[in-house]
Amino acid sequence: MGSENPIYPIENISISTTDIKAKLSNLHDYSDCEVAVVYMFAKYLASRLNPKLVPFGFAYSYHSALQDIAAPENDPKTPETLTGYHPAVYELISSRMIPVTKAVCPSDFADAVEREYLKYCKK
């Protein structure tokens, strides 16, 4: 596994997001514990992902997309169906990052996203 390689740890390896985008676009097929707004957000996130990402890049993309829907004036292409909610809804979407990541990403990559995210949160 990539995370066991001491020369190239998974945190430094970018992977294609083709499969991840497809799974995000159909999150309801991979996770049954989400609310409708999380499914809508996952589709929006899929449209914004770069073709290749390292784990920190995925976490950053998730939260960047979340910031844009919470403040839609930042991105005029933000779907109206994701804007105008109470701040608690955006907190809910934020709290689902790790479960969504584990549902759509390869396990070693998802674990690395979680590690990178937790490091970032401690700063």
Quote the number of domains for the chain: 1
Residue 85: domain span: 2-122
Q: Which of 44, 52, 3, 9 is nearest to 27 (CA)?
A: 44
Band (12; pLDDT cuts 50, 70, 90): confident
Q: Name the residue with tokens 């949160």.
A: 121
* pLDDT > 50? residue 63: yes
55-70 vs 87-95: helix crossing angle, rounded to 10: 170
How confident is the model over 50-62, as pLDDT tens digits? 999 999 999 999 9
